[in-house]
Amino acid sequence: MNNIAIIIPTRLDAKRLPNKPLKIIKNKEMILHVYEMAKKSNVGEVYVATPDQKIIDVVKSAGGNVVKTSLSHKTGTDRVFEVFKDKLKSKPNFIINLQGDMPNIDPTAIQSLAAYIQEKKCDIATLASDLKYDTELRDENVVKVSVKEKLSLNSYCQALDFVRVEANLEHNLYHHVGIYAFTNKALLSYVSLQRSKLEIERKLEQLRAIENNMYIHVGYIKSSPLSVDTEQDLIEIRKIMEKNEKK
């Protein structure tokens, strides 16, 4: 059993972009792009966690590891925990929750996060990039994270808050990247907590950790992978990935 497991929670019934994981980008389903980037990071075993048979069939046909999970989960982290507990028998020391809608995630970003969480300086580690204030500040599809100090390459800082729109400009504000690394103890603690008030209000599950005094540290990456939440995002990511292929 590897020390680290990367688990990708995904489902078909996203409200803003239904069937999102199966949208085709460069002749391949989005979830397969994410899976391949996770594999390329080479930090641990990779699993897709989903309640949907269509996703299971796609991942299996590509030779990937996939686990069918319960339909009743409220959050992606709950889905991750099911795989950690039942499939992996709670053995990995570190668990990376990688969102299934970032097909252009850089494998080196996953490597950086994996290296940091193994230092055990926090409960949860995540990533962020520079925020485009002119276009992203009031975009509710772009999650922002505020931190204690200005971020720089190869350094991490404690997260203060996560927001969608109502941002406190007095703090250092960044574009949050939807990937989380947990120690196994932190994951066990997190899923034992009730969903918090801010978590429900803002639809950001990381706020449950902050409201319960868990430490989230944020690392900096130069470029932000595009989180595909809308049809416009899908059009944009297709352009980006096709352009990168031609370079």
pLDDT of amino acid 247: 59
Structure token digits, residue 34: 């994410």
**Residue 243 falls inside a structural domain:** no
Give me the domain span that covers residue 103.
Answer: 4-235
Tell me the per-residue pLDDT of 28-72, one tens digit each, with 9 for 90 and over. 999 999 999 999 999 999 999 999 999 999 999 999 999 999 999
CATH code, domain with 198: 3.90.550.10
**Residue 242 falls inside a structural domain:** no
Residues with Cβ within 8 Å of residue 45, at least 6 apart in sequence: 2, 4, 5, 6, 65, 92
**Residue 246 falls inside a structural domain:** no
Tell me the per-residue pLDDT of 197-207, one tens digit each, with 9 for 90 and over. 999 999 999 99
pLDDT of amino acid 137: 87
Tell me the per-residue pLDDT of 105-155, one tens digit each, with 9 for 90 and over. 999 999 999 999 999 999 999 999 999 888 888 888 899 999 989 999 888
pLDDT of amino acid 223: 81
The yes-or-no verdict on residue 227 having pLDDT over 70 is yes
Mean pLDDT across 203-228? 94
**Residue 107 falls inside a structural domain:** yes
**Residue 221 falls inside a structural domain:** yes
**Does pTM top 0.85 for this prediction?**
yes
**Residue 141 falls inside a structural domain:** yes
For the chain, what is the domain count?
1
Average pLDDT, the chain: 93
CA distance 162 to 204: 8
Residue 242 pLDDT level (bands cut at 50, 70, 90): confident
